[in-house]
Amino acid sequence: MKLKYLYIILIGCFIIASKNVLAFTHSPETILIGTQYNGAKLHISGDILKDKDVIVEIKGTEKDAHFKQKGKVWGIFWMTVGHLTFKHAPSVYMLYLPSNLSGVVSKLGLGYKNVLSKIEIEPPPDTKYQILADFLKLKEKEGLYHINKNGIRYIQKGNEKKFRCEISIPPKMPPGKYEIVVYNLNNKHQIENIEKDSFEVKLTGFPKFISDMAFNHSLIYGILAVIIAILAGFVMGFIFKDKGGAH
Amino acid sequence: MFHMYLPIAGNSINVFLILGLGGLVGLLSGIFGVGGGFLMTPLLIMFGIPPTVAAASDSNQIVGASTSGTLAHYRLGNVDIKMGILLLIGGIIGGDIGVHIIKVLRALGNADFLINLTYVIMLGFVGTYMFIESLQSLKKSKEQGEEELKETSATPKESFYVKLMNSLPFQTHFEKSGVTMSALMPLILGIFVGILAAIMGVGGGFIMVPVMVYLLRMPMHVVVGTSLFQILFTCINVTIMQAYSNHTVDFVLALCLLLGSTIGAQFGTRISKRLKGDQLKIILATIVLLVMFKMLYSLLAKPSLMLSYAGGH
């Protein structure tokens, strides 16, 4: 009998906890880059309790990134003065949060400040702060680093609410696997649990064919590119001749 | 709307924008016999194409545009094939030497600075000289004043140069250009342009054209056709090499640019035929000077960001 009560209590706890534990879905699973691709939208949604909040993070892999550093030469000319390698910098970093949480992001160990603090630069520059600021500007310009302070929408459903988030995938986001991290926050704005999933950006059709050729059959690709260009030049030449333009 | 994904550049771009860019540069190419790389590459970078991909795909595009342009000029009798081949051989040898010079410069450090400074000085010198010279000859042909003939610049240098040209062996007659000189001249000048082009990372059309006009004394219209002929082969070499070793040729981008530029080159050739040699020179000189000022500005003005992507990653 006691065991029965224990089961009921456990099931009850599980039901309550399952409302805290977040289950989110995203669509599409894979973003396909076709001929007319110009970026895409990734939709993330899930159900949470009424008094909870969520923050959505998108992260790319941490690959070494190489940059040229500019500086003054002879006191007047602005030139490349050195090369820098950035380590532990995610290729993509996006953060979507509801409007009421913009103040607590860094306290939670999220956001740019947290990402930039983990980056190592080699060789270590004198002006690391300035260089990191420029790195951020460069990434933001490409749409690869992005914070949307009003990026989560809630729809109330009785004691629960549905969250929705629309992620803008910029055309410059390279093919690869990306991590989706959804943070579930309690009413004190503390992280209660974290759920992860991933999505893929993949080349398909003609872009995939070109990319495969360029990287796997580079010599044939180069020769074909030249032959097609020459043929196109000839075709144009003859079209114009037929119109009687050339004498 | 009407966007196209460029798989090697890793970005998408408006189709009409590329067609327009191709058309504009093809037009210039057809008029002046320059590849247009000095104009196209910075424009492509401006529209979000990585610099290495922009330069390599542009050379693929120039193959098409210069085929179309060379064909049109060949029909008009403006291509001196003998001269073109000699310049080409020189250009290839010079290109190899230039690549080694760059390696040495990079090892010494500050290579980019030296390259850019050479660029500005060369463009400034060539542009100013062409501008003044063609302005003077335009004036002369209008007024036909006898007095102005005395003011011809650089006369003493030229006479020394003529002596040197005549004293060299292998004197050859170049029928299409209507000049007789040593076959070594185009070969040596080809090497010189090849070295500069390799160091600056450009096709060298806008150095080659003034060299043909002033040092090889070729008539302007033959210069344009022959320059295009020479550029065609240089860019075939560059495209294959870049595709093979650096994987930086975006064929989709090149093909779109090509569509625009081959049409542009055909119109350019017709415009070129209607303009006088001096008019052509003066417009080209203005463009060369504009590019020089743009480069000088980018050297002097503080960049908005102190960081940029290093190529080939």
CA angle B192, B198, B199 (to 5 degrees): 90
Helical (H) or strand (E) element with B98? helix B81-108
B91 to chain A, closest Cα gap in Å: 19
Two tokens at B97?
């030497």
The predicted pLDDT at position A220 comes to: 94
pLDDT the model gives residue B158: 58
The residue-averaged pLDDT of B218-224 equals 85
A223 vs B299: CB contact, 8 Å cut-off?
Answer: no
The pairing of strands A160-169 and A145-148 is: unpaired
CA gap B224, B203 in Å, rounded = 14
Note whether B102 and B245 are within 8 A (CB).
no
Average of pLDDT values for A70-90? Answer: 85
Place of tokens 């008539």: B219
Q: Which two tokens stand for residue A189?
A: 């704005």
Write the Ramachandran bin of B220: left for phi over 0, alpha for psi from -120 to 50, otherwise beta.
alpha
- Placement of tokens 């872009």 in the chain: A207
Token pair belonging to A149: 């302070």
**Total residue length of chain A:** 247
Residue A204: is its pLDDT beyond 90?
yes
Which residue of chain B has the CA closest to A209? Answer: B7
Position B5 in a domain:
no
Q: Is B251's CB within 8 Å of A226's CB?
A: no
Number of domains in chain B: 1
CA distance linking residue B250 with residue B252, whole number of Å: 6
The CATH superfamily of A2-202 is: Immunoglobulins (2.60.40.10)
Beta carbons of B253 and B19 less than 8 angstroms apart = no
CA–CA gap between residue A145 and residue A74 (Å, rounded)? 35
Domain holding B105, by residue range, is 13-300
Percentage of residues of chain B with pLDDT beyond 90: 4
Interface test with B, best of A204, A240, A243 (most B CBs within 10 A): A240
Cβ neighbourhood burial of A158 (10 Å; 0-12, 13-18, 19+): exposed
- According to the per-residue pLDDT averaged within each range, which of A41-55, A228-242, B198-212 is highest? A41-55
Tens digit of each residue's pLDDT (9 = 90 or more) over B11-48 = 899 999 999 988 988 888 778 767 677 778 778 887 88
Sheet arrangement for strand A23-27: A23-27, A40-49, A160-169, A152-157
A64: helix, coil or strand? coil
Residue B312 within a domain? no
Q: What is the pTM of this model?
A: 0.76
**Are the beta carbons of A222 and B243 separated by less than 8 Å?**
yes
Average pLDDT, chain A: 85
Q: What is the DSSP string of B109-143?
A: S-HHHHHHHHHHHHHHHHHHHHHHHHHHHHHHHHH
What is the distance in angstroms between the Cα of A213 and the nearest Cα belonging to chain B? 10
Q: List, in sequence order, every beta strand (DSSP E) within chain A.
A: 23-27, 30-33, 40-49, 53-59, 65-73, 77-87, 93-96, 120-122, 145-148, 152-157, 160-169, 176-185, 191-203
Q: Which residue has the tokens 């914070």?
A: A147
Structure tokens, B57: 């795909």
- Residue B2 is assigned to a structural domain of this protein: no
Residue with more model confidence, A132 or B95: A132
- Chain A residue numbers with beta carbons less than 8 Å from the beta carbon of B262 are 232-233, 235-237
Separation CA A80–CA B184 (nearest Å)? 38
SS3 B39: helix
pLDDT at B154 over 70: no
In this structure, are residues B239 and A223 in contact, taking their beta carbons and an 8 Å threshold? Answer: no
Q: Is residue B96 part of a domain?
A: yes
Two tokens, residue B76 = 């008009």
CB B73 within 8 A of CB B79: yes
Residue B65's H or E segment, with its range, is: helix B51-75
Indicate if the pLDDT at residue A221 is higher than 60: yes
**Integer Cα distance of B251 and B259 in angstroms:** 12
In a domain, B306, yes or no: no
SS3 call for A243: coil
pLDDT of residue B278: 81
Distance from C-alpha of B117 to C-alpha of B108, rounded to nearest angstrom:
16
Report yes or no: A84 and A90 within 8 Å, Cβ to Cβ. Answer: no
- Region B2-12 average pLDDT: 89
ipTM score: 0.78
**What mean pLDDT do residues A127-152 have?**
91
- pLDDT tops 90 at residue A167: yes
Pair of tokens at residue B43: 């424009």
Whether B134 maps to a domain, the answer reads: yes
> What number of C-beta contacts closer than 8 Å exist between A and B?
194
User: Which residues are A54's β-sheet partners?
Assistant: A184
Q: Which of B261, B306, B309 best probes binding to A when mutated, by most A CB atoms within 10 angstroms?
A: B306
